[in-house]
C-alpha cells in the first residue's frame, strides 16, 4: 500500500488542511475501503452459511440490531441498518419463517408492530457470532489489542459520520 497513482495534488489545494499527505491519506482510506467492501461481501456470505445455511448474510446485521436494541418497529429497524423498508420487510418475513424473530402487533398503534428476537434467534446469534469471531480471530489473531481497539474506533467514527449527515436516522449502538 503505497501506490502513487491518484493521490497527486491534482485536486488542487483543499480548503482546510490542503496538505498533500492529507490528500494521500484520504485517498488511501478510500482505496482500502473499497477493497474491503468487496472482500467483506464474500467473506460474510461464506461465513453466515457456515453456521446456518439459510442464514442469509444480510440477516446478520438485522438480528444484531434487534438484539442490541430490543423490540423495535420495522421502519426504525430499516433505518438502523441503513436500508429501505421493503428489504427489511422481506428479510423479517423470512426470518420469521425460520422462527428467529417475531412480529408482535403494537396495541397502541394498529399499523405498527414490534419486531423482536425469539429465544431461538438469540441462540442462533450466539452460534453465528461465535463463528464470526472465530473467523475474525483467524485473521486478527496477531493484532495487538490496542490496534484492534483503534481500528474499531475509527470505523465507529466513520459509521457515525454517515449517520450524522448521510442518513436520516438515529443512533446505532
**Site residues (CB under 8 A) for a second copy, limited to 42-101:** 42-44, 60-61, 64, 67-68, 81-83
171 binds, among DNA, a second copy, none (CB under 5 to 8 A by kind): none
Query: Could you tell me the sign of the dihedral formed by the alpha carbons of 132, 136, 138, 144, in that order?
Result: negative
* Interface with DNA (CB under 7 A), residue from 8, 29, 36, 93: 93
Mapped onto helix, strand or coil, the DSSP state of residue 167 is: coil
79 binds, among a second copy, DNA, none (CB under 5 to 8 A by kind): none
25 binds, among a second copy, DNA, none (CB under 5 to 8 A by kind): a second copy
Which burial class, exposed, middle or buried, applies to 24 when counting CB atoms under 10 A from its CB (0-12, 13-18, 19+)? Answer: middle
Nearest to DNA of 5, 39 (CB atom)? 39
Nearest to a second copy of 105, 137 (CB atom)? 137
CB–CB of 23/14 below 8 Å?
yes
Q: Using CB under 7 A as the criterion, what x/- string covers residues 28-47 for binding DNA?
A: ----------x--xx-----
Which burial class, exposed, middle or buried, applies to 50 when counting CB atoms under 10 A from its CB (0-12, 13-18, 19+)? Answer: middle
* Interface with a second copy (CB under 8 A), residue from 86, 108, 111, 141: 141
**Rounded alpha-carbon distances, angstroms, from residue 122 to 49, 70, 169:** 17, 11, 26
Amino acid at each position: 500500500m503505497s501506490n502513487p497513482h491518484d493521490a497527486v495534488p491534482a485536486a488542487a489545494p483543499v480548503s482546510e488542511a490542503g496538505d498533500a499527505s492529507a490528500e494521500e491519506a484520504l485517498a488511501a482510506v478510500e482505496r482500502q475501503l473499497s477493497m474491503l467492501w468487496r472482500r467483506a461481501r464474500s467473506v460474510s456470505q461464506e461465513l453466515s452459511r457456515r453456521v446456518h445455511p439459510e442464514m442469509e448474510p444480510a440477516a446478520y446485521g438485522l438480528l444484531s440490531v434487534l438484539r442490541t436494541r430490543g423490540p423495535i418497529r420495522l421502519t426504525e429497524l430499516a433505518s438502523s441498518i441503513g436500508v429501505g423498508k421493503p428489504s427489511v420487510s422481506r428479510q423479517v418475513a423470512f426470518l420469521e419463517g425460520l422462527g428467529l424473530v417475531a412480529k408482535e402487533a403494537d396495541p397502541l398503534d394498529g399499523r405498527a408492530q414490534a419486531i423482536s428476537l425469539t429465544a431461538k434467534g438469540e441462540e442462533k446469534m450466539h452460534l453465528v457470532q461465535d463463528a464470526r469471531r472465530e473467523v475474525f480471530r483467524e485473521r486478527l489473531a496477531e493484532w495487538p489489542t490496542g490496534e484492534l481497539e483503534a481500528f474499531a474506533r475509527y470505523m465507529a467514527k466513520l459509521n457515525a459520520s454517515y449517520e450524522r449527515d448521510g442518513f436520516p436516522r438515529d443512533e446505532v449502538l
